[in-house]
Amino acid sequence: MPSIETRAVLPADPDTVFAMLRRVEDFPQYTSAVETVTHLGDERYRWQVRVAGVQYQWVVEIVQSEAPERLAWKSVTGISNTGRYHLSPVREGTDLRLVIDYTLNSRILDRTVGKLAGPVVRRISAEVLSRVRERLAK
Q: What is the pLDDT of residues 68-114, one digit of tens each?
A: 999 999 999 988 889 999 999 999 999 999 998 877 666 655 565 56
C-alpha span between 6 and 85 (Å, rounded): 10
C-alpha span between 70 and 85 (Å, rounded): 6
Q: How far is CA 10 from CA 16, 24, 96, 101, 131, in A?
A: 10, 18, 7, 23, 10
What single-letter amino acid sits at 15?
Answer: D
**Is the pLDDT assigned to residue 45 strictly greater than 70?**
yes
Interacting residues of 115 by C-beta distance below 8 A, sequence separation 6+: none
Taking a C-beta distance cutoff of 8 angstroms, is the pair 58, 78 a contact? yes
Q: What is the pLDDT of residues 94-104, one digit of tens each?
A: 999 999 887 76
Taking a C-beta distance cutoff of 8 angstroms, is the pair 48, 40 a contact? no
Taking a C-beta distance cutoff of 8 angstroms, is the pair 20, 27 a contact? no
Q: What is the pLDDT of residues 46-61, one digit of tens each?
A: 999 888 788 889 999 9
Q: What is the pTM of this model?
A: 0.85
